[in-house]
């Protein structure tokens, strides 16, 4: 791996007590090109601008996918990543569906570990803060024929972040627009899945919400996921979450929370949940809590669900189940309890000789 270090770190310019999500990118990045059917030598270099041709394939056809993962500063000062191999596997799953090459584990994991070692001072230690890691791949051939690219570029950027939402979240059940269709690319982290969501989300924001809850593409009768998060509802004493389909992103946070809920002995059902069922539960007070789960969003409590012009208030207690689950997850991430699931992967930092 080629390594070129920056001569001018930007770390001193960062106010770690004010970190708008994704605004500050760390000093270094990993770049690896795929050319002539082969991955080239990866390189770590100072974060900088991309020089590109206006014929860059990804700009025309959106052949691009990304991941979101995090590294944490543990209570003892060491650095650890949360389930990085799960994100690695999901990026390759997205790549397969989008006709992009598979990234070798060695390039992904060795590059990531080295990048974190080099930029270790960028990993925050404040409560609810972490280093967000953004691996992504895009089609980088220079031609505009509508077929898959020949060349690709894989990069990893990192960014110190605080909470994604500053407080509780208001969501609107979206029954006009659709995020994903059957047989489509909803289960991937294709760039276009997010680009296509911006317009309906902007409409919801204008109406006073933070996000939409997507519903099924056919009849808009069943809930799917919410913007950047999977959904969990506590109805009575049972947790409910929609089952994974090819329209829903298989969240790593979702999978982890389901495991924690089961381990705790709480009831959970992964099954289709109708809009009617949620609205009725919200109306009668049987919807005890609702929250979104995601890498960026972690556990984000939902305090309002809007449906056809009516807003239903959902309790968002500080001492409820959502916050308890968030703490269980954070305790593992910060090394405050034993990591019995082996979810954390430590980053070795070489000590200066």
Q: Which residues bind ligand COI (CB under 6 A)?
A: 68, 194, 228, 294-296
In the complex, least distance from residue 230 CB atom to ligand COI, rounded to whole angstroms: 10
Q: Give the closest residue to 71 by CA, choosing from 9, 12, 124, 25.
A: 124
Q: Which residue, 66 or 312, is less far from ligand COI as judged by CB?
A: 66
Nearer to ligand COI, 229 or 287 (CB): 229
Instruction: Please say which residue, 178 or 230, places its beta carbon nearer to ligand COI.
Output: 230
Q: How far is the CB of 68 from ligand COI (least distance, A)?
A: 2
We find the least distance from the C-beta atom of residue 102 to ligand COI, in angstroms, to be 21
CA–chain centroid gap for 185, Å, is: 16
Report in angstroms how near the CB of residue 1 gets to ligand COI at its nearest.
25
Q: Which residues contact 249 (CB under 8 A, 6 or more apart)?
A: 186, 187, 188, 189, 225, 230
Residues 6+ apart with CB under 8 A from 303: 168, 169, 170, 313, 314, 315, 316
Q: Which is nearer to ligand COI, 258 or 296 (CB)?
A: 296
Between CA 239 and CA 109 the distance in angstroms is 34
Q: How far is the CB of 55 from ligand COI (least distance, A)?
A: 27
CB nearer to ligand COI: give 68 or 186: 68
DSSP 3-state of 350: coil
Cα dihedral 184, 185, 191, 195 sign: positive
Minimum CB–partner distance for residue 18 and ligand COI (Å): 18
């390759």: which residue's tokens? 92
* CA–CA distances in Å: residue 165 to residues 10, 211, 321, 323: 25, 11, 19, 15
Cβ closest to ligand COI, residue 34 vs residue 136:
136
> Are residues 43 and 4 in contact, defined by beta-carbon separation less than 8 angstroms?
yes
Count the Cβ atoms, other than its own, within 10 Å of residue 310.
10
Q: Whose CB is nearest to ligand COI?
A: 68
Tell me the closest approach of the beta carbon of residue 133 to ligand COI, in angstroms: 9
Nearest residue (CB) to ligand COI, 204 versus 275: 204
Q: What is the token pair recorded at 132? A: 């967000």
Q: How far apart are CA 154 and CA 157, in angstroms?
A: 10
């Amino acid at each position: 791996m080629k390594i070129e270090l920056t001569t001018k770190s930007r770390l001193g310019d960062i106010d770690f007590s004010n970190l708008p999500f994704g605004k500050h990118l760390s000093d270094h990045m990993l770049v690896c090109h795929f050319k002539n059917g082969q991955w080239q030598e990866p390189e770590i270099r100072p974060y900088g601008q991309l020089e590109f041709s206006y014929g860059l394939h990804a700009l025309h056809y959106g052949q691009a996918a990304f991941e979101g993962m995090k590294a944490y500063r543990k209570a003892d000062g060491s650095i650890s990543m949360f389930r990085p191999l799960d994100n690695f596997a999901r990026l390759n799953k997205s790549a397969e569906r989008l006709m992009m090459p598979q990234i070798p584990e060695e390039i992904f994991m060795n590059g990531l570990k080295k990048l974190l070692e080099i930029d270790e001072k960028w990993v925050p230690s404040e409560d609810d803060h972490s280093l967000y890691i953004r691996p992504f791949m895009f089609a980088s051939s220079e031609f505009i024929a509508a077929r898959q690219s020949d060349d690709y570029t894989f990069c990893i950027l990192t960014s110190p972040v605080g909470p994604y939402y500053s407080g509780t979240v208001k969501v609107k059940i979206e029954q006009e627009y659709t995020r994903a269709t059957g047989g489509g690319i909803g289960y991937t982290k294709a760039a276009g899945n997010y680009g296509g969501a911006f317009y309906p989300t902007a409409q919801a924001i204008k109406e006073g919400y933070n996000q939409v809850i997507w519903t099924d593409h056919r009849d808009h009768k069943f809930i799917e996921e919410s913007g950047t998060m999977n959904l969990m509802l506590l109805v009575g004493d049972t947790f409910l979450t929609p089952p994974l389909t090819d329209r829903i992103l298989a969240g790593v946070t979702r999978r982890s929370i389901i495991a924690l809920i089961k381990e705790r002995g709480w009831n959970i059902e992964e099954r289709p949940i109708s809009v009617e069922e949620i609205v009725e539960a919200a109306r009668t007070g049987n919807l005890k809590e609702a929250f979104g789960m995601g890498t960026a969003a972690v556990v984000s409590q939902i305090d309002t669900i809007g449906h056809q012009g009516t807003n239903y208030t959902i309790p968002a207690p500080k001492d409820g189940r959502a916050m308890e689950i968030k703490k269980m997850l954070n305790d593992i991430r910060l090394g405050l309890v034993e990591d019995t699931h082996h979810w954390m992967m430590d980053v070795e930092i070489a000590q200066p000789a």
